[in-house]
Amino acid sequence: MTVDDRPPVAAKRPQQHQHFGIERVDDYSWLRDASYPAVENPEILAYLEAENSYVRKRLLEPEAARIEALHAELKARLKEDDRSVPVRQGGVDYHWAYSKGAQYRTWYRQAIGQHVAGVMLDENKLAEGSSYFSLRGLAVSPDGRFLAYTTDCDGSERYRLHLRDLDNGEERRDLAQNLSGSVVWRRDSRSLLAVDLNDKLRPYRVRTHAIATADDAASALFEEQDPAFFVSIGRTRSHRFIEVSSGTHVTREVHVLDQEDPGLGLQCIAPRRDGHRYWLDHGGGRFWILTNDRHPNFRLVSAPVAAASEADWQEEIAAGDRDYLRDVSCFKDFMVVSGKVDGLTRLRIRDYAGKEKVIGFDEPVFAAGIGDNREFETERVRLSYSSMITPPSVIDYVVPTGEHIVRKVQEIPSGYQRELYATSRIMAEAKDGVLIPVTLVHRRDFPKDGSGKLFLYGYGAYGMGMEPHFSASRLSLLERGFCFAMAHVRGGDELGQLWYEAGKLEHKHRTFDDFIAVAEGLIAERYAGPGAIAIKGGSAGGMLIGAVLNARPDLWRCAIADVPFVDVLNTMLDDKLPLTPIEWPEWGNPIDDEAAFRRILGYSPYETIKAQDYPPMLVTAGISDPRVTYWEPAKFVARLRTTKTDAQELYLKTNMDAGHFGASGRYDSLKELAEQFAFILRCFEPPESSSSAADAG
């Protein structure tokens, strides 16, 4: 396949499908490699490389100067020798730091009383020779001697477990393979827990690894048989209980292992039942449990350790439509209850007698939460904080006095003047009359007369709401005259679990309708004119972008779909894919449910591409992505090329060395962002100054 001024065109190989009497033809199913997760088919690789060559020739090379300038600008906002605030654990302070020019962190530890910190782990050395690197599961044993950590060197999210003796530097690599990445030490400091992935990449089994034995000697502690349930591990902040959880998006079951009496084995807190989710922590001699048993927005209950079944649960904080409880974190003398009220973050300190106070912050709209807290017995709580105009901050909150001690504010070396920017939250009316929150940030001199440029971002799935957080990278667009808008559409949890439920399954269309309503509302408020809006979303947010492109292409100047979940129907029909069974509660099961089949068929972006004009698009993929497989964006672009009626730019850029989250190094990831910003800026230029060609496909 050669690349010239014309875009690559994938071969059409029709494959017939029939389900519930409905016939479909998929011309591009051949783009899925039969050997996946390995991608070895030379024709598929040649097509992806041809698309990448086309992107280089038509976008990256013509925009090379702008991309380099943007990349330099983005890097200039990074503190090259940045470091974290030390966190104390067992008489030792731990922190990470970047050295100048380093892509990855170096991790340090320093015993109290010592003047020099020692290197615990250097990610840069571990990443040598790898085009991708991800570190997870970094955990020091309770006695402080051993460091366990997990690594992924291809973006497939299949982690390897390693063990380092911090006393003598000896290391065992690949203690175990094909893991989810999480690690939990047992109290003996001689064994640890990790979660195995099966051949479909599903986290399904917890095993105990003794550090003195080989992987094949690891013993199974828990194994989940239901293919729709994923397994995870953790521990209570008190370190007394290890937690083994199994769940879907709508159901969760927790088992605990009491490390003071491990002979009891795993104890189930509340047996699973469809639709019931709960989380717990331990403090004050009781379990503290967030449960949705009576209301989707959760209530807080407690139970004695010796009698923790549902029959013994005692209500502590009732559930409500406006008060959405999200997390409970227990310390020796108090807990922190995190949640939202009317969509706005609220953190409160509560003692074990029920007395509580709200942690106050100066700004009305902000993102705040529990930070890295490793000491159970403490009077201070480490918090993270930011807003759309306030850089990320690390704050120690002194519980007895209410004092806020700011330990760090993200430094922006190239300079940042907070007073130049304004942020607000407005409401846009959806087609059914519901008001949709929109968070905005722009320069104070941004013109609200319809002549401005707008960048609109959305997600709206899995109950994963978007927080009003700061982004230094975003300044590159704000300084070039853009207003950035975050659409809190239904399907997220910004206004609670009812908000989430109103945008899933049979209500999924509301996510797309809300996003369009937000765009139309911002046009009506004169933040931009029709056709002057750039849009972006990733993963399930990429599905949102695909859907609104098909529904209202006239509204958008351009679109970026990052690793987009766009082949929804075919993926949900394939129960051999690792994520499919766990996804059915979110989208529906089209294998057995005709209503779900017809519903997904009606909005799946790949299935609903039309013979119409589309705006310029940049679509990305990751060759080893286990969440949104590479062939979804590839098929989407292939069908668009032969269906759409315009000559606007359409690009597919596949990262051949990474997965769902793109490039791993901090500078490499900024290079990818610079490319996206360059694409957006190019699309807002007058036609005569744009380097795009009329036959860009």
**Which residues are the active-site residues?**
539, 625, 660
> Residue 337 forms beta bridges with which residues?
328, 348
Pairing of strands 453-458, 421-429: unpaired
- What is the distance, to the nearest Å, from the Cα of residue 21 to the centroid of all Cα atoms in its chain? 37
Amino acid at 260: E
Cα–Cα dist 239/142, whole Å: 10
- What is the distance, to the nearest Å, from the Cα of residue 583 to the centroid of all Cα atoms in its chain? 16
Cα–Cα dist 637/600, whole Å: 19
Cα–Cα dist 672/538, whole Å: 14
DSSP-based three-state secondary structure for 681? helix
**Count of CA atoms in the C-beta half-sphere (13 A) of 360:** 5
Residues 6+ apart with CB under 8 A from 682: 59, 63, 66, 690, 691, 692
Residues 6+ apart with CB under 8 A from 676: 536, 560, 618
- What is the distance, to the nearest Å, from the Cα of residue 566 to the centroid of all Cα atoms in its chain? 17
Q: Which helix (H) or strand (E) covers residue 477, if one does?
A: helix 475-478
Q: Which two tokens stand for residue 419?
A: 């007073």
- Order across the sheet with 146-152: list the strands: 134-140, 146-152, 159-165, 171-185, 191-197, 203-210, 219-223
Cα–Cα dist 184/312, whole Å: 28
Q: How far is CA 35 from CA 354, 568, 683, in A?
A: 57, 21, 38
Cα–Cα dist 358/330, whole Å: 16
Residues 417 and 648: beta-carbon distance below 8 Å = no
DSSP-based three-state secondary structure for 395? strand
Q: How far is CA 129 from CA 125, 516, 695, in A?
A: 9, 45, 40
| Strand blocks (E) in 488-594 | 533-538, 556-562
Return phi, psi of residue 585, to 5°.
Answer: -65, -20
| Strand blocks (E) in 333-478 | 334-341, 344-351, 356-358, 367-370, 380-386, 393-398, 403-409, 421-429, 435-443, 453-458
% helix, strand, coil for the chain, step of 5: 20, 35, 45
Which is nearest to 283 in space by CA: 328, 351, 332? Answer: 332
> Residue 281 forms beta bridges with which residues?
288
Residues 206 and 195: beta-carbon distance below 8 Å = yes
Cα–Cα dist 76/80, whole Å: 8
Local structure of residue 190 (DSSP, 8 states): S
Pairing of strands 15-19, 106-111: unpaired
